[in-house]
Structure 1
Amino acid sequence: MKTKPFLSAADVRLIAEAAEREALANQWAVTIAIVDDGGHPLWLQRLDGAAPLSAQIAPAKARTAALGRRESKVYEDMINGGRVSFLSAPLIEGMLEGGVPVLVDGHCIGAVGVSGVKSAEDAQIARAGIAALAQPG
């Protein structure tokens, strides 16, 4: 039987805290969502001042990144490139930049989705959260 890593509750808190630090350091009001490899919610945090809609968009971006095992921006680029039929793909709604998969030893073990500022900044926050997993301590 094969085994693979997974996100523990401690990992999720570590990611969330680092993502929050990145957002607050830049004074960005966002929602941060973390999901497991099946796109199931593990964390949702709407920072003060974040738009209510961001609490719907962030989990959708995270779910898209987890199920697709790639950044949600890939789908946004595909659609913007003319492949609009991809809008009918089942189970994924967050086809906007800002969803980043958590990859460990070649396995997608979850994803982080952020919504509330420019999409590249959303992705920056998600990556900052994920980077905390690689830091010793």
Structure 2
Amino acid sequence: MRPRNWKLAIAVVDPAGELVYFYRMDGTQNASNQIAINKARTSARFRRPTQVFVDLMQTPTGAYVPTLDPTIAVSPGGFPLVVGGRIVGAIGCSGAMGTQDGVACQAGANAVR
């Protein structure tokens, strides 16, 4: 696998969405810190990838999603961490394009399985 030179903030949370690990690469934009945490929390608390909310926003009834909680991340880049069929937490990445955040987080989630 070749390096992609994406500057990412990476957050890992427990199943309740509480932060247990955070890493910020040099050169990552400051806004990415909280966004990565929110992506991880959204994924853990709703037990699904954040892409689900991106897709839901494309439907007529999906616009209500961000009104549920102001910390919900409606952006790719949040994935549950599943071990033995159980969600043990979630990972969130921010700093690149949304789809790139998703690729990075999916790789992290796959490494835990």
The DSSP-based 3-state class of the residue aligned with 1:108 is strand
Measured against aligned partners, the alpha-carbon deviations of 1:75-112 in whole angstroms (never above 9, x if no partner) come to: 11111323101221137421211001011222211000
Q: In 1, Cα distance between the equivalents of 2:106 and 2:46?
A: 17
> Structure 1, residues 38-91: CA drift from partner, whole Å, max 9, x if none?
000011111011100000100000000001110001011111323101221137
User: What is the TM-score normalised by the length of structure 1?
Assistant: 0.75
Q: Is the contact made by 2:81 and 2:112 (CA closer than 8 Å) also made in structure 1?
A: no
1:32 paired with 2:10, answer yes
Query: Percent identity among equivalent residues?
Result: 32
Structure 2 counterpart of 1:90? 69
> Contact between 1:79 and 1:87, CA under 8 Å: does it hold in 2?
no
**Matched residue, 2:46:** 68
| Runs of 5+ unmatched residues, structure 1 | 1-21
List alignment gaps of at least 5 residues for structure 2. Answer: none
Measure, in 1, the Cα distance between the counterparts of 2:105 and 2:63.
26
**Counterparts of 1:91 and 1:64 in 2: how far apart (Å)?**
11
**For 1:29 and 1:115, how far apart are their aligned partners in 2?**
8
Cα displacement (A) at 1:113: 0.2
Q: Distance in 1 between matches of 2:34 and 2:71?
A: 13
Q: Which entry has the higher C-alpha Rg, 1 or 2?
A: 1
User: For the residues of structure 1 that align with 2:82 and 2:70, how far apart are their CA atoms?
Assistant: 21
Which residue in the other structure is 1:51 paired with?
Answer: 29
Aligned to 2:20: 42
Shift of 1:132: 2.2
1:129 offset after TM fit, Å? 1.6
Q: After TM superposition, what 4+ stretches of structure 1 lie above 3 angstroms from structure 2?
A: none
TM-score (normalised: structure 2) = 0.90
Cα distance in 1 between the residues matched to 2:102 and 2:88: 18
